[in-house]
């Protein structure tokens, strides 16, 4: 009995062949132009990133964001906002991986679960720098070709549009409100 006699088919398709997730907390050092007296606010903006697969089970996410810190100086008599670009590099291990893939061509998708966000911003104790703790989280998926085997139903039929009954039954026809549109216009 051959493979085709058993009524199975192999389908080659693109599918998720790897997944990974990583949560990261970093402490970034910001250098203001004046010795800070107090921190008035901190926010993270302009997040950019890209991802690529390296090796068999790692996705690298390279990115950057701007850290903006509003601080006072000169004994809390003046304020200023300092902005610094922070670059990061995350290695995300694939925790789910399909070993039965076809070929080496893959697409990598990275989705931000948690945008870079300021957790804490404080003045460093020994110099005039500012320490900013930032969190971020990514989910990565690797898409590639794989083979799926399906059983064919020998009695299966393919529905045709002509097989559908679009006629109204007498009961459905009796329930149609002929003034439906007129009632809407009155409201």
Whether 162 shows a pLDDT value over 90: the answer reads no
C-alpha–C-alpha distance, residues 100 and 90, integer Å: 26
Beta strands in 31-162 (DSSP E): 36-54, 58-73, 78-93, 96-97, 101-123, 130-151
- 8 vs 100, residue with greater confidence: 8
C-alpha–C-alpha distance, residues 163 and 159, integer Å: 6
Lowest mean pLDDT among 47-56, 83-92, 146-155, 172-181: 172-181
Domain-by-domain residue ranges, the chain? Answer: 4-155
Of 16, 27, 102, whose CA–CA distance to 59 is shortest? 16
Contacts of 27 (CB under 8 A, 6+ apart): 131, 132, 133, 134
Q: Tokens in use for 38?
A: 């107090």
pTM: 0.71
C-alpha–C-alpha distance, residues 40 and 38, integer Å: 6
User: Quick check: 135 and 119 in contact, CB under 8 A?
Assistant: yes
HSE toward the beta carbon, residue 94, CA cutoff 13 A = 24
- Tell me, rounded to whole angstroms, the distance of Cα 157 from its chain centroid: 39
Of 119, 153, 121, whose CA–CA distance to 135 is shortest? 119
Question: Using one digit for the tens of pLDDT, what is the confidence trace for 44-80?
Answer: 999 999 999 988 889 999 999 999 999 999 999 999 9
Contacts of 7 (CB under 8 A, 6+ apart): 151, 152, 153, 154
User: What pairs with residue 136 in β-bridges?
Assistant: 24
- Percent of the chain exceeding pLDDT 70 equals 87
């Amino acid at each position: 009995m051959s493979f085709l006699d058993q009524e199975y088919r192999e389908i080659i398709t693109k599918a998720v062949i790897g997944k990974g997730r990583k949560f990261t907390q970093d402490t970034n050092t910001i250098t203001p132009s004046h010795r800070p007296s107090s921190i008035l606010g901190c926010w993270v903006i302009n997040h950019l990133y890209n991802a690529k697969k390296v090796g068999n089970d790692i996705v690298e996410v390279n990115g950057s964001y701007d850290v903006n810190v509003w601080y006072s100086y000169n004994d809390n008599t003046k304020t200023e906002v300092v902005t610094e670009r922070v670059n990061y590099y995350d290695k995300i291990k694939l925790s789910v991986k399909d070993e039965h893939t076809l070929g080496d061509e893959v697409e990598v998708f990275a989705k931000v679960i948690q945008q870079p966000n300021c957790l804490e911003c404080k003045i460093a104790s020994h110099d005039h720098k500012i320490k900013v703790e930032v969190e971020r989280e990514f989910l990565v998926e690797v898409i590639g070709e794989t083979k799926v085997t399906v059983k064919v139903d020998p009695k299966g039929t393919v529905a045709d549009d002509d097989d559908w009954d679009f006629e109204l039954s007498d009961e459905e026809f009796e329930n149609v409100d002929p003034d439906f549109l007129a009632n809407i216009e009155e409201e």
